[in-house]
Structure 1
Amino acid sequence: MARTESKMLPLGTQAPDFTLIDAVTNNAVSLKDVRGEKGTVVMFICNHCPFVKHVNDELVRICNDYRVTGFGFVGINSNDIIKYPEDSPAEMWRTARRHSYPFPYLYDETQEVAKAYDAACTPDFYLFDDELKLVYRGQLDNSRPGNGIPVNGRDLREALDNILNNNPQRKDQKPSIGCNIKWKE
């Protein structure tokens, strides 16, 4: 299992715009559509990665806990589906249904969105404030498959709470670690 770290896009970066197809509804969804009043979480995830499988239930809990407070959420899969057919839109639909994803699960066929966000791994998390400026990027928490630490979403939850409570964000944000994005050749 490859262990790739986030590239840690510079804080303050404006959220790159996108319009992609939701694998569940087959509708086009844009950044504007998922933008939250308080902030927006963009997650690069996929179906086959053990790191994503490890945190799927917590992603659903976080989204359910925070979307009612004014945050928008979106999952984006940018993997090459020729080499990794388990990440195809049909499998995305199954994964989203199986886990009851409360967020759109978008397919980045051209991989241009992943490149615009400088995404490197799955999962990779980006939290933007109400002005779509990057305030947090990095790990969900310290849990990894097999390390025995429970999944609790501590780092991302803290960043979301900091926005809600008008507190400054931590300066020592840890990169996410996961499978590398499966780039097309």
Structure 2
Amino acid sequence: MAQTASNMLPLGTTAPEFYLKDTNSNDTSSFEDLKGTHGTLVMFICNHCPFVHHVIREIVMIANDYRVQGIGVIAISSNDVEKYPQDSPELMADFALEHKIDFPYLYDESQETAKAYQAACTPDFYLFDSQDKLFYRGQLDDSRPGNGIPLSGSDLRGAIDALIYNRSLKELQKPSMGCSIKWRQ
């Protein structure tokens, strides 16, 4: 299974705005509509990626743990659905239901949002502060499919905790690893 690393968008970057359809609600929303009072987690995921399947339970637990603390949680799928029909908006809604994703799961049909965030892989995580500045980007934790390291969400949870409790992040921010975004030709 090929691994692609995050591009590591520079810290302090302002969250790129978007206006995308939520496959859970059929509403169209922007970053501004969905952001949290204390910060916002934007993640690029998709339905078929084995790396996403490996971490989806932990992602949902993180969303459930931190949304009540004022962190907005947004998932976006940007894959080319002509070549990867399993990532279609209709199947995104099924995937969300199956995995109990009750936060927005947005479809980036034009792929412009993924380009604006410099997203490279699924999963790819971006944590913005209350001023919409990038505070953390990188991996969930060191666990990967088949490497034997248990899921903990430690890197992302540590970053969210630091953001909420106004602490600096001293740990090295490691790139996320996963399947590449499936770009249209």
Q: Is the structural similarity TM-score above 0.5?
A: yes
Q: TM-score range by the shorter chain?
A: over 0.9
1:117 maps to: 117
Residue in structure 2 matched with residue 60 of structure 1 by the alignment: 60
In the alignment, structure 1 residue 89 sits paired with structure 2 residue 89: yes
| TM-score scaled by length of structure 1 | 0.98
Moved over 3 A (4+): none
- Mapped to 2, the partners of 1:6 and 1:110 lie a distance apart of 20
Distance across 2 between alignment mates of 1:181 and 1:38: 29
Partner of 2:19: 19
Q: Do residues 127 (structure 1) and 164 (structure 2) align?
A: no
- Secondary structure at the aligned position of 2:135 is classed as strand
Tell me the equivalent position of 1:167.
Answer: 167
For the Cα contact (< 8 Å) 2:24–2:102, is it kept in 1? no
Question: How many corresponding residue pairs?
Answer: 185
Q: Percent identity?
A: 61
Displacement of 1:170: 2.8
Paired with 1:127 and 1:168, the residues of 2 have a C-alpha distance of: 14
Give, as a single letter, the amino acid of the residue that structure 2 aligns with 1:120.
A
Where does structure 2 lack aligned partners over 5 or more consecutive residues? none
Q: Structure 2: which amino acid aligns with 1:183?
A: W
CA drift of 1:171 comes to: 5.2
Give the aligned partner of residue 176 of structure 2. Answer: 176
Using the TM superposition, give the Cα deviation of residue 25 of structure 1 relative to its aligned residue in structure 2, in angstroms.
Answer: 1.2
Gap runs ≥5 in structure 1: none
**Structure 1 vs Structure 2 CA RMSD:** 0.7
Paired position in structure 2 for 1:47: 47
